[in-house]
Chain A
Amino acid sequence: MGLFSNLSFLKRSQAGEQPQPATLAVEVPPAPLEAAAEPVAESPAPAAPEPASNSEVRAQAEALVRRVVQELPDFMTVAIVDGASGLILAGQWAGHSGGAVEVAAANAEMVKQTRLAIEVLQLGPEEILEDILITLRRQLHLLRVLPTQNWLLYLAVRTQDTNLALARAVLRNMTL
C-alpha cells in the first residue's frame, strides 16, 4: 500500500502531461508501472518547482483519501481523479496496482461520456449526475462526482467486504 503521490512517474504526469487532453491518456496501452516509469529516467525532470496551489490541491485530495480509507478499511482502491484531465491527484490501493493511471483516465472519460449522454438526452437542469456504480462479479466500483472541484472520487471494494449501501453512504459524506 502506498501513496500515489510518492511515485515519481505520477509527478511527471502532473507536471508534464497536464495540458494533454484526457483522450490521449486513454489511448496509452495498458502497461505495468515499471514500464510507465521508464521515460522519467530518460527525459529531463521539469526544473520549475510546483506552484504552491498545486501541492495544496494535492494535500486536500490526500486528506480526502485518508478519510475514506479510515471509514472503509477493507478498500481495494481509493483515488481522487481530476475530472477534466483524468489524472490521479491522490490515491491508495491495497496490493496489486498495475494500470492505475490508465484506469483513472478511462474512468474520467466514462464520466464525461455519461455527462454528454445526459446533456444530449435533454433530461433537464434538475437532473445532475450523482454517482456511477459498476458491479463486477466480485467487486464494486463506485465513481462519485464531487461537484465543487470537478473531482471524481473512485472507490473499488470487494463485495464480500462491503455492501453497496455502505460504500455509497461513506462517499456521500465526503465533501471538503
Chain B
Amino acid sequence: MAYSASTPAGQAVQNIINDLPGLMAVAIVDISSGMSLASHSNSGINPETAAAYNTEVVKQKLKAMNALKLQGETIDDILITLTNQLHLIKLVADSKKFIYLVVNSRDTNLAIAREVLRAQNELLSA
C-alpha cells in the first residue's frame, strides 16, 4: 500500500479501489514532478514508473493543445487502448495532477472507469 488514507490523494486512491476492486493499477500523479502522491497496484504494473512516463504523454498533449491555440478548451482525459487493457489518464480540475488508472477491458468498460474517476475530481482539486 503506497498511500496514506489521511491525505486527499490517498483517500481518492482508496475510493477508486473500493469502486473498482478488479483494477490493475492506480496512481495520483503530480504533473510538474512526475511523481505519484498515492498509488496502488494489483498487477505487475509499477504505478510509480507508469506515472513518470505518462507525465510525458500529458505534457506532449498540452504542447499540441498549445500549438492549436484552442480557446476555452481543456483536456478532460486521455485514454490509451491496448489489446486487453485500458489506461485512463484523467486530469484533475486544476491541471496540476492526474489520476492514472489501468483496468482490464474485459472487467471494466470506459464509461464505468470514467465515472469512478470523475467522482474523485472534487476531492483532489481541493
Q: Footprint of B on A, CB under 8 Å?
A: 26, 30, 98-99, 102-103, 106-107, 109-110, 113-114, 116-118, 120-123, 126-139
Contact = CB atoms under 8 A, between A and B. Distances in A.
B61 A106 contact: yes
Most interface-central of A113, A126, A129 (chain B CB within 10 A): A113
Contacts of A99: 67-69
A30 B53 CA distance: 24
Contact of B79 (A102, A116, A133): A133
B60 A113 contact: yes
Given A113-B56, A120-B53, A128 B83 contact: yes
A29 to B, nearest CB: 9
Given A26-B63, A117-B53, A121-B45, A98 B69 contact: yes
Contacts of B6: none
B79 A135 contact: yes
7 contacts: A30-B66, A99-B69, A106-B67, A114-B80, A120-B53, A131-B81, A136-B76
Given A106-B64, A110-B57, A121-B50, A132 B80 contact: yes
Given A106-B60, A110-B60, A135 B82 contact: no
Interface in B69-83: 69-70, 72-83
A109 B75 CA distance: 17
Contacts of B67: 30, 99, 102-103, 106
Contacts of A137: 72-74, 76
A132 B79 contact: yes
Q: Is the interface of A mostly helix, strand, loop or mixed?
A: mixed
B76 A132 contact: no
Interface string B12-33: 0000000000000000000000
Contacts of B85: 123, 127
Given A106-B61, A110-B60, A133 B82 contact: no
B95 interface: no
A116 B78 CA distance: 16
A134 B53 CA distance: 17
Contact of A127 (B66, B74, B76, B82): B82
B86 to A, nearest CB: 10
Contacts of A102: 63-64, 67
A98 B68 contact: yes
A111 B44 CA distance: 22
A136 B64 contact: no
Contacts of A116: 53
A92 to B, nearest CB: 16
Nearest to B57: A113
B76 A130 contact: no
B49 A120 contact: yes
B46 interface: yes
